[in-house]
Structure 1
Amino acid sequence: MAQGRGGIRGARIGSGPMGESERGELAPRTAVSFWCGNGHRTQITFAVEAAVPPTWDCRNCGLPAGPDPDDVPVAQGSAPYRTHLGYVRQRRSQEDGEILLNEALAKLRGTI
């Protein structure tokens, strides 16, 4: 026995089939495949008149993917984490740091 469930599930009363006659015709499309460095294939459908981008993010791993499976784009390397001292060393040499340290110590000692 159906136990009180109706025969039509997931539809409103009075709704009919929704086909192309109600929505209109679909735009002409083209499918483009993109491959990432891990060998994943991502297929994207574009309108025929749309410009196809040179790269697309892989749905599986997030690496950049290109349309040529033999020439996949290389992921941009991210800069390593750098501490505050690392940034200071990038801007100043060791000699400059020694001079600044000696000036700061002289101020603290009251000799300047």
Structure 2
Amino acid sequence: MVSGNAIRGTRVGGGSPSVPERGEPAPRQFVDYWCVNGHQTRPSFSVRAQIPETWECRRCGLPAGTDRDAPPEPPVQRPYKTHVAYVMERRSAEEGEQLLAEALAALRARRGEAPS
């Protein structure tokens, strides 16, 4: 059943595709990039644009380069560290025990408790 909506499937400002109201498109060039997984990404750039050395792979998100035989290495991902792990890098166990004893003494002094 046909509805009476004549502009169905068009967008506002779309116009006819046969009439170039906005002028000619800028000249483009396509550049091939490959990631370490062998995926090819082919973005287009203006012919006057500076071509970047790396581009993000559209399939896996790893960096891709223009040399198919030598793609860029994936970035090194450091494992997640907790706050305690960072503190342990800066302080020794003895320093930690001393700081804990000082903090407990200050807490007990505020509460009015006798030192243990």
TM-score bracket, normalised by the shorter chain, equals: 0.7 to 0.9
Equivalents in 1 of 2:114, 2:54: separation in Å? 62
Corresponding letter in the other structure for 2:50: A
Match of 2:94 in 1: 95
Comparing 59-68 with 16-25, which one deviates more in the overlay? 16-25
Corresponding letter in the other structure for 1:33: D
Corresponding letter in the other structure for 1:87: Y
Match of 1:65 in 2: 64
For structure 2, the 5+ residue unaligned runs are: none
Cα offset, 1:78, TM superposition: 2.4
Corresponding letter in the other structure for 1:83: T
Q: Aligned-residue CA RMSD in angstroms?
A: 3.0
Percent identity at matched positions? 50
Cα offset, 1:104, TM superposition: 4.1
1:39–1:20 CA distance, 2 compared to 1 (3 A): farther
Corresponding letter in the other structure for 1:27: A
With the length of structure 2 as denominator, give the TM-score of the two structures.
Answer: 0.72
Cα offset, 1:23, TM superposition: 3.2
For structure 1, the 5+ residue unaligned runs are: none
1:20–1:101 CA distance, 2 compared to 1 (3 A): same
Equivalents in 2 of 1:11, 1:84: separation in Å? 55
Corresponding letter in the other structure for 1:93: S
Equivalents in 2 of 1:90, 1:73: separation in Å? 31
Cα offset, 1:25, TM superposition: 1.6
Equivalents in 1 of 2:15, 2:52: separation in Å? 39
SS in 2 for 1:23: coil
Equivalents in 1 of 2:101, 2:21: separation in Å? 81
What are the Cα deviations for residues 24-62 of structure 1, in whole angstroms up to 9, with x where unaligned? 222111110010111000001111001111111111111
Match of 1:51 in 2: 50
What are the Cα deviations for residues 50-79 of structure 1, in whole angstroms up to 9, with x where unaligned? 111111111111111111111211222222
